[in-house]
A and B are shown apart, each in its own frame.
Chain A
């Protein structure tokens, strides 16, 4: 019950944000939401299925490149670009997932990292298509539909991002509560038992891997027009690792937690980076302390305290 109130409150806050916030604050919030969606997608595989991917940024990056190319070369409306980015990430995730889900736990983590570095290298080297290390700049924020209104203004683009993220959250919540989502949690808890109860977990793992990659691709597809560029940086392992940090900070296996985790994480980064350019040392240290002392993350710990009270 309390959760529902908090959710309604958050929705209202998102709705009034464009009027309440200054322009640069709204831009920061847009950023937070995009990375919130990225962390949310990672939680689907990490928190609900127990598969820790060290290469999730690859799908964020694929989404960014997919959407950037569609916007630059074909000047399609934003939803087309979002779809293209998400689909590109999902399609590439099929072969990668097929290989990676043959392995378990730590092997899976290593494989996802290795494949992500491969995709990063491809993005880096395929200069004709991706612009190499410079990436693709000048990605336009086009229109809402063919001949429709422009979404170039900060308010309009914020609305596109907020709606995408809220819808994604709703879909993901339904997904984890569905028969499929329940099966994923059983796989996370005990794979051998799952097998002896009559199903092969690999098909489930591959499916959720592709779904998670698709949502990460959507986040990337929002990122490219928002920031106006796509570059190999957004596929780099550091972003994959930051995704893991967001999920852990917010609370693994809670969906909302990772979004909050992403926000907290980026805000900490913002604050630290105004004092020192070497903020990564401090975020790294905070992360290490979180892993040791608060494995449930912010939301997980809050829930535990709430049930105890």
Chain B
């Protein structure tokens, strides 16, 4: 089986600071892969490199067999790569429904219908409502996104990404700032998405319980480099990881 996403010796420097070095990954279709690592390990930078928000200073990104290194974030998204952000990134003064609807519309095209476009708006609205229902947000569809509680805003961001029906979903710390109850609910939602939509998911996460609960495989970053990769049980047992990361947490 060929990998859905590959990075080859990917690197990014900010001036003298080498944030990501030599990262080579292969994510199989259907896999739920977690990326962990202490603060400043380069996880979010790696996400920006994969989603195209930052150009790499070295290496390649290959998605569905195509080299997408030279493509920007919009083009990668249209090829089936949707993401969420660590700091909630939504359209605050638009309704919850419109947030998701615009996500559908931007992916589907027809954005330059300057007048009319009623049928198209209705079609994208239907898909948006499906996605909202899937995440249990249908009751809040008409509220302004900025008025939602934090936990629901995190879910809304996932709903926007899921509504785009991507091949690969990148989730950047989906449980960031959530209460224990909300965290449990979000873990359930992610598992459900992965199953129901046969999505491949790449997850950056701080919460170790979440990671060991969800991930099929785990990649550990430390100072921008991959120091370990394997099944959750291997990672748990790995001494280097213990030292670099788990040790400091415990």
Contacts and interface: CB of A to CB of B under 8 A. Distances in A.
Q: Do chains A and B touch in the complex (CB under 8 A)?
A: yes
Interface in A205-243: 207, 211
A198 B90 contact: no
B113 A193 contact: no
B164 A197 contact: yes
Contact of A174 (B83, B115, B164): B115
B74 A200 contact: yes
Contact of A190 (B90, B110, B111, B115): B90
B89 A179 contact: no
B110 A179 contact: yes
Contact of B113 (A178, A186, A190, A192): A178
The secondary structure that dominates the A interface is: helix
B137 to A, nearest CB: 17
Interface residues of A, number: 25
B91 A179 contact: no
B117 interface: yes
Interface residues on B, range: 35 or more
B115 A195 contact: no
A274 interface: no
Contacts of A181: 114
B117 A183 contact: no
B43 interface: no
Interface in A123-171: 171
B160 A197 contact: yes
A43 to B, nearest CB: 16
Interface of A: 171, 174-175, 178-183, 185-186, 189-190, 192-200, 204, 207, 211
Interface of B: 51, 53, 72-74, 77-78, 82-83, 85, 89-94, 98, 101-103, 105-107, 110-117, 120-121, 124, 160, 164
8 contacts: A178-B113, A178-B117, A183-B105, A190-B91, A193-B85, A196-B77, A197-B106, A198-B107
